[in-house]
């Protein structure tokens, strides 16, 4: 029926009348799965090839039940860089200079189409010059399409250099032919490396979904519109490969890159006994997806009154289906985890209890929501958060997987303004318009996202690494990439030459340990040697080379996030040597392990000496010394290298004390090269720890050295008050240490709230200490001191205190006034050379 032009026009009319959300015809084919009509095409090749998953892809001169209308030209490459199961598949490509189509003989039904693009260097052609449309029967899949060489999602942490990309669609075919058309723009060309066509015998889409923010239902029927898969994520777990999803050969990516604040959620997993809540759901997602999840972080100090948020770049002016996969992995009764689901800041569900919805524990279940992303909005938010109607004990959320599907408008999945532009505006005209804009902006900004793209471009133009890389064209969103991760962190870090006599590292320095050595050092990771745990994994005390004590940090190999941080830390620590930075001795990456070996810090974290502790209280001098040491380490990070390095996670558990209580900064997993001179900030997703987070960074996501200064200010108050930075068990106005201490400090009565175990201290020194801490917490970064200032003040404070001690001991000075008043108060004296010896 859809092959009929008139029918299509009638449907378009209906769409324009705005009856988009009327539930209409549905179809449900039977249960039971078999791939009857499946085509795997190895484009540009005469022969079949088998991928590493054992699937056979046939060459694409016309075959038994498919035809190629026009051969175009074929190209081959001996090497495929993609670290991909499709290594052999991507060695050939078919290139079209005029329109061409593949025709598949199928029976009417629902189909999944995947197009694979691997842009290797073609003879006499620049891949960047390809511009084309692809349609499948009447459904427009992409328009003005170009495979970009480098992809940076606006909302994503890392930049990806792509080797190949895959796009995935679903559509209903009402006739006996599925035609996939490649239409190059004049003077340009189209290409494709592989095509998958898979018949869906078990329908993936129900008839309707709840429409967010209304009681209406949205039709999901494929007879109403085509669908493009935008994102498919295994939340809280590693990628699930196509071979692990044998129903549909889908790839499920990790979700780390899409999380707004990684600290808000904790990954959990449970492999036992998961089953589908409904027998109809077996092809919805593999059970592996349900075995991992994220729940709200609960480190005992943060009250769970926050949202766990993910955000996604999407194309404006489309309807989206957000499919949430849930499975309660921990609780065996209801009311343990109750939360709200928000999509695009609107409530999609209230008092959601997965246990109830899925009818039990370990039951795989999914929920569909539909929402419209209007013109001018290109971000889709998914948030899970507390429900105000629930008492503190039930506040928690869980999510196991998420998929985001774009629904076509008017049988068009390409950019929406293609739809708005009226139909007699042909390709030629679009091309002209696009040329004008290219000229106007000097880049290949897309016609449609021009305003967004321009802003984005202006913000990012200096960061672009390669000439000739175009801005992401409309419809470029790949479902998945076979990419090389190019984390901007690492790229930045590798450019840091050190100015003083620190070690200049061109490569990773440090010893490479074998896993056997690590096992020997830790008695095979004996639990009794664990000296710390965290989101990344565990830290063991170990012994290498006849008795040298070391700290061995073993990352959780499941974590994609962890891998990036592991590499950052190796990069950072390889280049940085300083008396007040914990030094890395080496690392081990054998067998996908992520193990770092550090100097052993006998006295553990500064936090462990402050509160909830059996250790004796630190004296005021010891506390000042520790703060000074940490400040020196931070000051070195900020200024010791040509480009400053921002620590990003300054807190008392990242300040370690050696056997002599010398403090050193640790944990560079979140570090990031700071802005170069022509930039004032680094724009980045918010990371860090609750209670220490710079509010300005949180608001604007602009990262500067001053974000570390803020966190350090919180540390100063924590050190003197000896309480946790967030303590939900306290009265409301005391929960947040920074706010509470600041209030007392502003009333000049910090001494009322200090640690009673502080011992003897000079009031004068405490007064100055409160002042500098207060300055660090200035709301705006520009009003905060530099670390050099902070350091100078702390040293001055220590002198004040020591003078006071001397006077009270020896009685040779009458007061705490020791002539320091005359010292210039804002002139930092920091001599790099004293401290920055390599170790």
Residues of the binding site for ATP? 553
| Residue of 306, 598, 668, 769 interacting with ligand NAG (CB under 6 A) | 306
Closer of 61 and 659 to ligand NAG (Cβ): 61
Stretch that binds ligand NAG, among 287-295, 303-311, 730-738, 752-760 (CB under 6 A): 303-311
Residue 688 to residue 649: CA distance in whole angstroms: 5
| Residues flagged as binding site | 553
Stretch that binds ligand NAG, among 109-117, 213-221, 299-307, 798-806 (CB under 6 A): 299-307
| Residue of 299, 305, 459, 837 interacting with ligand NAG (CB under 6 A) | 305
Stretch that binds ligand NAG, among 50-58, 246-254, 353-361, 381-389 (CB under 6 A): 381-389
Stretch that binds ligand NAG, among 206-214, 262-270, 304-312, 542-550 (CB under 6 A): 304-312
Closer of 404 and 766 to ligand NAG (Cβ): 404
Interface with ligand NAG includes 310 (CB under 6 A)?
Answer: no
Site for ligand NAG in 50-109 (CB under 6 A): 61
Residue 290 to residue 444: CA distance in whole angstroms: 41
Interface with ligand NAG includes 309 (CB under 6 A)?
Answer: yes
Interface with ligand NAG includes 44 (CB under 6 A)?
Answer: no
Residues 6+ apart with CB under 8 A from 710: 692, 693, 694, 695, 696, 697, 776, 777, 781, 784
Q: What is the DSSP track for 436-474? A: HHHHHHSS---STTHHHHHHHHHHHGGG--STTPPPPPT
Interface with ligand NAG includes 381 (CB under 6 A)?
Answer: yes
| Number of CB atoms found within 10 A of residue 179's CB | 17
Beta bridge partners, 554, equal 538, 595
Per rule CB under 6 A, count of chain residues that contact ligand NAG: 12
Residue 557 to residue 563: CA distance in whole angstroms: 8
Closest distance between ligand NAG and the C-beta of residue 694, in Å? 16
Closest distance between ligand NAG and the C-beta of residue 210, in Å? 17
What dihedral do alpha carbons 771, 773, 779, 784 form, nearest 10°?
Answer: 80
Stretch that binds ligand NAG, among 1-9, 380-388, 413-421, 706-714 (CB under 6 A): 380-388
Spatial contact of 393 and 333, defined as CB atoms under 8 Å apart: no
Interface with ligand NAG includes 385 (CB under 6 A)?
Answer: yes
Closer of 105 and 345 to ligand NAG (Cβ): 345
Interface with ligand NAG includes 345 (CB under 6 A)?
Answer: yes
**Could you tell me which of 441, 474, 197, 430 has the C-alpha nearest to residue 315?**
474
Stretch that binds ligand NAG, among 305-313, 402-410, 530-538, 758-766 (CB under 6 A): 305-313
Closest distance between ligand NAG and the C-beta of residue 310, in Å? 10
Closer of 152 and 383 to ligand NAG (Cβ): 383
| Residue of 218, 307, 654, 745 interacting with ligand NAG (CB under 6 A) | 307
Closer of 345 and 432 to ligand NAG (Cβ): 345
Closer of 189 and 381 to ligand NAG (Cβ): 381
Clarify whether 396 is annotated catalytic.
Answer: no
β-pairing, 253-254 with 227-234? parallel
**Could you tell me which of 245, 191, 688, 739 has the C-alpha nearest to residue 730?**
739
Q: Which of 319, 368, 396, 649 is catalytic?
A: 649
| Number of CB atoms found within 10 A of residue 515's CB | 13
Interface with ligand NAG includes 261 (CB under 6 A)?
Answer: no
Closest distance between ligand NAG and the C-beta of residue 435, in Å? 34
β-pairing, 672-673 with 663-665? unpaired
Residue 663 to residue 654: CA distance in whole angstroms: 10
Interface with ligand NAG includes 342 (CB under 6 A)?
Answer: yes
Residues 6+ apart with CB under 8 A from 257: 153, 156, 157, 158, 560
Residue 200 to residue 746: CA distance in whole angstroms: 67
Closer of 307 and 568 to ligand NAG (Cβ): 307
Closest distance between ligand NAG and the C-beta of residue 289, in Å? 25
Residue 672 to residues 139, 494, 506, 647, 669: CA-CA distances in angstroms? 44, 11, 18, 7, 9
Stretch that binds ligand NAG, among 133-141, 300-308, 350-358, 422-430 (CB under 6 A): 300-308
Interface with ligand NAG includes 49 (CB under 6 A)?
Answer: no
Site for ligand NAG in 760-789 (CB under 6 A): none
Closer of 100 and 552 to ligand NAG (Cβ): 100
Closer of 318 and 668 to ligand NAG (Cβ): 318
Q: Which two tokens stand for residue 280?
A: 């109809």
Spatial contact of 274 and 318, defined as CB atoms under 8 Å apart: no
Closest distance between ligand NAG and the C-beta of residue 342, in Å? 4
Count of positions (residues) in the chain: 839
String of b and e for 481-507 (b: at least 16 CB within 10 Å)? bbbeebbbbbebbeebebeeebeebee
Closest distance between ligand NAG and the C-beta of residue 592, in Å? 34
Beta bridge partners, 319, equal 372, 407
Q: Which two tokens stand for residue 628?
A: 């000074």
Closest distance between ligand NAG and the C-beta of residue 679, in Å? 22
Closest distance between ligand NAG and the C-beta of residue 77, in Å? 13
| Residue of 46, 48, 299, 359 interacting with ligand NAG (CB under 6 A) | 46
Residues 6+ apart with CB under 8 A from 837: 501, 577, 579
Closest distance between ligand NAG and the C-beta of residue 63, in Å? 13
Spatial contact of 501 and 836, defined as CB atoms under 8 Å apart: yes
Residues 6+ apart with CB under 8 A from 174: 1, 2, 3, 108, 223
Closer of 90 and 381 to ligand NAG (Cβ): 381
List, by residue number, the catalytic residues.
Answer: 649
Residues lying near ligand NAG in the complex (CB under 6 A): 46, 61, 305-307, 309, 342, 345, 381, 383, 385-386
């Amino acid at each position: 029926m859809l092959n009929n032009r008139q029918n299509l026009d009638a449907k378009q009319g209906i769409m324009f009348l705005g009856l988009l959300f009327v539930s209409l015809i549905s179809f449900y084919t039977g249960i039971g799965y078999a791939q009857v009509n499946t085509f795997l095409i190895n484009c540009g090749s005469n022969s079949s090839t088998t991928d590493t998953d054992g699937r056979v892809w046939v060459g694409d001169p016309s075959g038994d039940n498919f035809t190629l209308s026009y051969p175009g030209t074929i190209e081959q490459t001996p090497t495929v860089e993609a670290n991909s199961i499709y290594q052999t598949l991507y060695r050939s490509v078919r290139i079209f200079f005029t329109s061409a189509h593949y025709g598949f003989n199928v029976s009417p039904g629902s189909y999944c189409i995947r197009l694979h693009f691997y842009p290797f260097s073609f003879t006499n052609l620049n891949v960047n010059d390809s511009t084309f449309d692809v349609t499948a029967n009447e459904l427009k899949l992409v328009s003005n399409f170009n495979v970009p060489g480098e992809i940076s999602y606006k909302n994503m942490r890392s930049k990806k250099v792509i080797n190949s990309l895959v796009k995935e669609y679903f559509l209903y075919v009402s006739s006996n032919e599925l035609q996939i058309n490649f239409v190059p723009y004049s003077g340009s060309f189209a290409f494709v490396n592989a095509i998958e066509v898979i018949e869906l015998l078990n329908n993936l889409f129900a008839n309707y979904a709840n429409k967010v923010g209304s009681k209406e239902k949205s039709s999901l029927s494929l007879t109403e519109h085509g669908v493009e898969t935008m994102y498919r994520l295994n939340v809280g777990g590693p990628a699930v490969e196509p071979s692990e999803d044998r129903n549909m050969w889908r790839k499920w990516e990790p979700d780390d890159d899409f999380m707004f604040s990684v600290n808000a959620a904790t990954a959990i997993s449970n492999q036992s006994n998961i089953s589908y809540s409904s027998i109809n759901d077996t092809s919805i997602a593999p059970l592996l997806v349900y075995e991992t999840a994220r729940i709200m972080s609960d480190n005992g100090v943060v009250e769970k009154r926050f949202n766990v948020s993910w955000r996604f770049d999407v194309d404006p002016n489309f309807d989206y289906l957000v499919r949430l996969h849930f499975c309660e992995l921990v609780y065996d009764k209801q009311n343990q985890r109750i939360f709200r689901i928000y999509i695009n800041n609107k409530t999609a569900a209230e008092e959601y209890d997965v246990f109830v919805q899925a009818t039990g524990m370990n039951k795989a279940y999914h929920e569909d929501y539909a929402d419209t992303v209007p013109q001018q909005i290109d971000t889709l938010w998914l948030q899970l958060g507390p429900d105000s109607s629930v008492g503190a004990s039930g506040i928690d959320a869980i999510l196991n997987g998420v998929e985001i599907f774009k629904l076509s408008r008017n049988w068009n999945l390409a950019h929406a303004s293609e739809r708005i532009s009226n139909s007699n505006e042909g390709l030629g005209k679009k091309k002209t318009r696009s040329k004008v804009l290219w000229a106007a902006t000097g880049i290949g900004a897309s016609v449609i996202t021009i305003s967004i793209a321009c802003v984005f471009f202006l913000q990012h133009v200096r960061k672009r690494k390669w000439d000739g890389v175009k801005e992401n064209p409309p419809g470029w969103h790949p479902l998945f990439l076979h990419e090389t991760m190019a984390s901007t962190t690492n790229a930045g870090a590798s450019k840091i030459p050190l100015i003083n006599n620190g070690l200049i590292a061109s490569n990773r320095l440090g010893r490479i340990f074998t896993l056997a050595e690590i096992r020997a050092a830790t008695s095979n990771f004996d639990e009794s040697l664990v000296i710390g745990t965290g989101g990344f994994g565990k830290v063991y005390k170990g012994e290498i080379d006849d008795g040298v004590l070391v700290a061995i940090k073993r990352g959780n190999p499941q974590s994609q996030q962890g891998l990036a941080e592991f590499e950052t830390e190796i990069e950072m620590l390889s280049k940085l040597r300083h008396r007040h930075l914990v030094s890395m001795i080496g690392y081990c990456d054998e067998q996908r392990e992520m193990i770092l070996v550090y100097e052993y810090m006998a006295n553990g974290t500064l936090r462990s000496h402050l509160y909830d502790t059996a250790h004796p209280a630190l004296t005021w001098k010891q506390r000042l010394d520790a703060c000074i040491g940490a400040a020196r380490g931070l000051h070195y990070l900020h200024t010791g290298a040509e480009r400053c390095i921002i620590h990003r996670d300054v807190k008392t558990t990242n300040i370690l004390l050696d056997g002599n209580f010398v403090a050193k900064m640790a944990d560079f997993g979140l570090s990031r090269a700071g802005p170069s001179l022509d930039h004032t900030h680094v724009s980045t997703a918010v990371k860090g720890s609750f209670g220490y987070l710079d509010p300005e960074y949180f608001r604007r996501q602009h990262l500067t050295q001053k974000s570390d200064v803020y966190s350090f200010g919180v540390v100063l108050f924590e050190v003197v008050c000896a309480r946790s930075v967030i303590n939900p068990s306290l009265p409301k106005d005391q929960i947040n240490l920074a706010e509470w201490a600041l209030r007392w400090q502003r009333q000049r009565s910090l001494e009322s709230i200090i640690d009673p175990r502080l011992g003897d201290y000079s009031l004068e020194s405490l007064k100055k200490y409160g002042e500098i801490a207060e300055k660090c917490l200035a709301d705006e970064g520009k009003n905060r001191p530099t670390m050099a200032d902070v350091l100078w003040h702390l040293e001055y404070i220590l002198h004040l205190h020591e003078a006071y001690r001397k006077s009270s001991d020896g009685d040779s000075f009458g007061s705490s006034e020791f002539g320091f008043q005359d010292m210039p108060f804002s002139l930092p004296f920091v001599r790099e050379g004293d401290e920055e010896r390599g170790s």
